């Protein structure tokens, strides 16, 4: 959340606490009761969305990077070992399986996976000849697992980022609703300036505290909206 949104949420929670303590003061005011219920719901919604927005994608990014590095390292190791087997055998595989680590690292995640998978399949097609002196069955399985795991983790990291971006958009919408809800509550509270000055005074104090750092010059006071 932005600083402005954080301040506004604290405002809403301050008002929520006030209305919880002063329930008897407005118990028969159905419109205000409905708005307070709406306020509470919006606070819950915002807290939930904020939790989603704050998902730490750093761990996923790290996993993605580590998985890619493992996939590339195993590809370079095993593909080049296999290339050595085919060297001098008048086979195009000697050249095709000669892998350059720097070249693969410069590829995007998707491109790197496709390239590594291609080399893996070339080696797998000759596993009988390569096992056990060049590339063992266990090493082939390790290589395949690295390619598969990179694919999954890359997807997971992307999903987390998308989820966070969606949450940010949802937060913006919920804060618009919250601002409107509080404006309506303020209008409904005006009569208590006469009917219950103590209750209204507490509301004004809470509202004043809540507004700290949230109002911009281009925002009109609620009574002018």
- If asked whether residues 167 and 130 sit together in one domain, one would say no
Peptide bond into 132 cis (omega under 30): yes
The pTM (predicted TM-score) of the whole model is: 0.51
Categorize the per-residue pLDDT at 218 as very low, low, confident or very high, splitting at 50, 70 and 90: very low
Tell me the mean pLDDT in the region 23-42: 96
pLDDT tens-place string over residues 116-147: 999 999 999 999 999 999 999 999 999 999 99
What is the arithmetic mean of pLDDT over 38-52? 89
Q: Taking 60 as the threshold, does the pLDDT of residue 57 lie above it?
A: no
Domain boundary among 159, 187, 215: 159
Residue in 143, 139, 185 with CA at minimum distance from that of residue 42: 185
- Same domain (yes/no): 99, 52: no
Same domain, 80 and 129: yes
Residue 17, pLDDT score: 95
State how far the Cα of 59 lies from the Cα of 197, in Å rounded to an integer.
Answer: 53
Report the SS3 class of residue 126: coil
Q: What is the pLDDT of residue 219?
A: 41
pLDDT at 58 over 70: no
User: How many domains, the chain?
Assistant: 2
The 10s digit of each residue's pLDDT in 158-194 is 656 666 667 788 899 999 999 999 999 999 999 999 9
User: Do 63 and 154 sit in the same domain of this protein?
Assistant: yes
Burial class (CB in 10 A: 0-12, 13-18, 19+), 202: middle
Q: Are residues 155 and 65 in the same domain?
A: yes
63 and 135 both lie in a single domain: yes
Section 182-207 average pLDDT? 94
Q: Tell me if residue 216 falls in helix, strand or coil.
A: coil
> Which pLDDT band holds residue 215 (cuts at 50, 70, 90)?
very low
Range of the domain at 102: 58-159
Query: Do 105 and 130 belong together in one domain?
Result: yes
Residue ending a domain, among 159, 180, 203, is 159
- Is the omega angle on the peptide bond into residue 95 within 30 degrees of 0, that is, cis? no
> What does the alpha-carbon distance between residue 147 and residue 66 come to, in Å, rounded to a whole number?
12
For residue 222, give both structure tokens. Answer: 């609620």
- Predicted pLDDT of residue 214: 42
Average pLDDT over all residues of the chain: 85
Query: Do 23 and 89 share a domain, yes or no?
Result: no
Q: Chain-centre distance of CA 11, in angstroms?
A: 25
Domain boundary, last residue among 159, 193, 213: 159
Q: Do 62 and 155 sit in the same domain of this protein?
A: yes
Packing angle, helices 30-53 and 3-21, rounded to 10: 140
Same domain for 153 and 76? yes
Note whether 102 and 168 are same-domain residues.
no
Do 111 and 184 sit in the same domain of this protein?
no
């Amino acid at each position: 959340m932005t600083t402005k949104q954080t301040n506004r949420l604290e405002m809403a929670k301050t008002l929520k606490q006030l209305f919880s303590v002063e329930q008897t003061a407005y118990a028969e005011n159905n419109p205000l009761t409905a708005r307070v219920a709406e306020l509470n719901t919006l606070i819950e919604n915002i807290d939930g969305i904020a939790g989603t927005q704050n998902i730490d994608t750093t761990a996923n990014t790290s996993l993605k990077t580590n998985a890619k590095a493992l996939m590339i390292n195993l590809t370079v190791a095993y593909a080049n070992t296999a290339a050595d087997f085919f060297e001098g055998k008048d086979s195009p595989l000697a050249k095709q399986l000669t892998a350059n680590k720097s070249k693969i690292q410069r590829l995007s995640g998707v491109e790197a996976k496709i390239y590594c998978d291609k080399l893996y399949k070339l080696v797998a097609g000759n596993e009988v000849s390569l096992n056990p002196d060049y590339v063992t069955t266990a090493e082939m399985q390790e290589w395949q697992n690295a390619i598969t795991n990179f694919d999954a983790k890359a997807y997971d990291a992307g999903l987390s980022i998308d989820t966070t971006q969606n949450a940010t958009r949802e937060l913006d919408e919920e804060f618009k609703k919250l601002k409107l809800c509080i404006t309506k509550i303020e209008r409904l509270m005006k009569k208590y300036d006469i009917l219950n000055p103590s209750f209204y005074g507490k509301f004004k104090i809470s509202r004043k505290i809540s507004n700290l750092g949230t109002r911009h010059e281009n925002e009109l006071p609620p009574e002018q909206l």
